[in-house]
């Protein structure tokens, strides 16, 4: 089989090192003036695609991001890492707040078909909403096989051998191409984009699209009722003896009397 055309999803999320703050009206978290970067799992996806290209297993890497104009910075990073061209599906403001894996997967599926890609690599989840749905939904829409939580990927004559991280341990599966792969943490260690490549990335093509270009309706299907801080851990109590401890646990209804 000839070299693959690979599509990689790159979501722009609040940087993992930032302490997230909930807005006072509980509609979401503060994003203005907050440092953003590429979703770490998407970086792993990007790295995997680049390694395929370096081994001449992939011919072209297309990167895509859905969201506000700033997503173009994330896409430039992906191009600097080694992507060939980028597609930015612009979704702004209120609409972006309501954008869910349900919508994104439809958009990704459309792009995958239009660009005739053989392999779609996505992060297993984004670190902001932790949905862990987009890869699976996209595979369903395309009716392609899916290999989620990949910890090792090998291309083997028109199919993929994927080592998956599952609850009980590891699982080896083989899927036929075209397929959707979602990356787990241990798949690889993403590279740093170098400064010369960042400069070269400026010249790589980046097209801007709208969801309507792909005939995808992005009206929200769910409503966020409230976003709240995790409960603050309460101070512990000291007890003098085992008897007292048992008594307290009993009073709290935590052990059967």
Partner 1 sequence: MKMLRQFISLGTCNVSATGIRHGIRKELLIITHQRNVSGVPASADRLEDKPAHTQHGKFEILQQKPVTNKPFAKDLFLGKFDKTVLVYPEISDRGELAELNQMVQHIERYFTESLDSKSIDINAEISEDVMNHLGELGLFGQQIPQEYGGLGLNATKYARLAEITALDGSIAVTLAAHQAIGLKGILIAGNEAQKQKYLPKLATGEHIAAFCLTEPSSGSDAASIQTRAVPSEDGKTFHLTGGKIWISNGGIADIFTVFAKVNITAENGEKQDKVTAFIVERNFGGVTSGKPEDKLGIRGSNTCEVHFDNTPVPAENVLGEVGGGFKIAMNILNSGRFSMGSSGAGILKKLIGLTTEHAISRMQFGSKLCEFKLIKEKFAKMAVTTYAMESMAYLTAGIIDMYEKPDLSVEAAMVKIFSSEGCWMCVNECLQVLGGQGFMKSNPYERYLRDARILMIFEGTNEILRLYVSLTGLKHAGQELKELVGKLRDPLNNPRLVFLQLWNRLSGKVREKPKLTLRLNEEVHPSLKNQTDILEECTLQFQRMVEIILQRHGNKVVQEQLELKRLSDICIDLYAMTACIGRASRAYCLGLRNADHELLLTKAFCHEANARIQQNMTALREGKTKNNDDTYMAIAETMFQNKGYAAEHPLTVNW
Binding site for partner 1 (CB under 8 A): 33, 37, 72-73, 76-77, 80, 192-196, 198-199, 202
Nearer to partner 1, 76 or 106 (CB): 76
**Rounded to the nearest whole angstrom, what is the least distance from the CB of residue 78 to partner 1 in the complex?**
11
**Rounded to the nearest whole angstrom, what is the least distance from the CB of residue 99 to partner 1 in the complex?**
23
Question: Would you list the DSSP string of the chain?
Answer: -PPEEEEEE--EEE-TTS---B-TTSSSB--TT--EEE-HHHHHHHHHHHHHHHTTSEEEEEEEEEESTTHHHHHHHHHHHT-SEEEEEE--HHHHHT--HHHHHHHHHHHHHHTT-SEEEEES--TTT----HHHHHHHHHT--EEEEEEEEEEETTEEEEEEEETTEEEEEEEESSEEEEE-TTS--PPPPPHHHHHHHTTS-EEEE-GGGGT-----SS------PPPPPPP----SSHHHHHHHHHHTTSS--
**Rounded to the nearest whole angstrom, what is the least distance from the CB of residue 46 to partner 1 in the complex?**
13
**Rounded to the nearest whole angstrom, what is the least distance from the CB of residue 127 to partner 1 in the complex?**
15
**Rounded to the nearest whole angstrom, what is the least distance from the CB of residue 194 to partner 1 in the complex?**
5
Nearer to partner 1, 32 or 228 (CB): 32
**Rounded to the nearest whole angstrom, what is the least distance from the CB of residue 32 to partner 1 in the complex?**
8
Nearer to partner 1, 24 or 169 (CB): 24
Nearer to partner 1, 50 or 218 (CB): 50
The answer to whether the peptide bond before residue 236 is cis (omega within 30 degrees of 0) is no
Nearer to partner 1, 38 or 112 (CB): 38
Report yes or no: 78 and 46 within 8 Å, Cβ to Cβ: yes
Nearer to partner 1, 169 or 196 (CB): 196
């Amino acid at each position: 089989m000839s070299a693959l055309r690979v599509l990689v999803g790159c979501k722009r999320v609040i940087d993992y090192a930032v302490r997230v703050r909930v807005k006072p009206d509980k509609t979401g978290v503060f994003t203005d003036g907050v440092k953003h970067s590429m979703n770490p799992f998407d970086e792993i996806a990007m790295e995997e695609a680049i390694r395929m290209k370096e081994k001449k297993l992939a011919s072209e890497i297309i990167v895509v991001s859905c969201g506000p104009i700033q997503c173009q910075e994330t896409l430039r990073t992906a191009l600097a890492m080694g992507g060939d061209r980028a597609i930015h599906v612009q979704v702004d403001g209120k609409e972006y707040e309501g954008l869910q894996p349900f919508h994104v997967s439809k958009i990704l599926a459309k792009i995958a078909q239009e660009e005739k890609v053989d392999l779609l690599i996505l992060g297993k989840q984004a670190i902001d909403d932790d949905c862990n749905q987009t890869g699976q939904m996209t595979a369903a829409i395309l009716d392609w096989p899916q290999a989620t939580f990949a910890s090792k990927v090998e291309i083997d004559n028109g199919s993929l051998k994927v080592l998956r991280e599952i609850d009980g341990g590891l699982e080896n599966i083989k899927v036929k191409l075209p397929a959707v792969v979602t990356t787990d943490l241990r798949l690889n260690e993403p590279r740093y984009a170098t400064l010369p490549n960042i400069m070269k990335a400026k010249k790589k093509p980046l097209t801007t699209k709208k969801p309507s270009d792909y005939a995808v309706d992005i009206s929200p299907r769910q409503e966020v009722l409230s976003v709240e801080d995790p409960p603050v851990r309460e101070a512990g109590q000291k007890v003098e003896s085992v008897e007292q401890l048992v008594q307290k646990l009993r009073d709290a209804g935590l052990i059967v009397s």
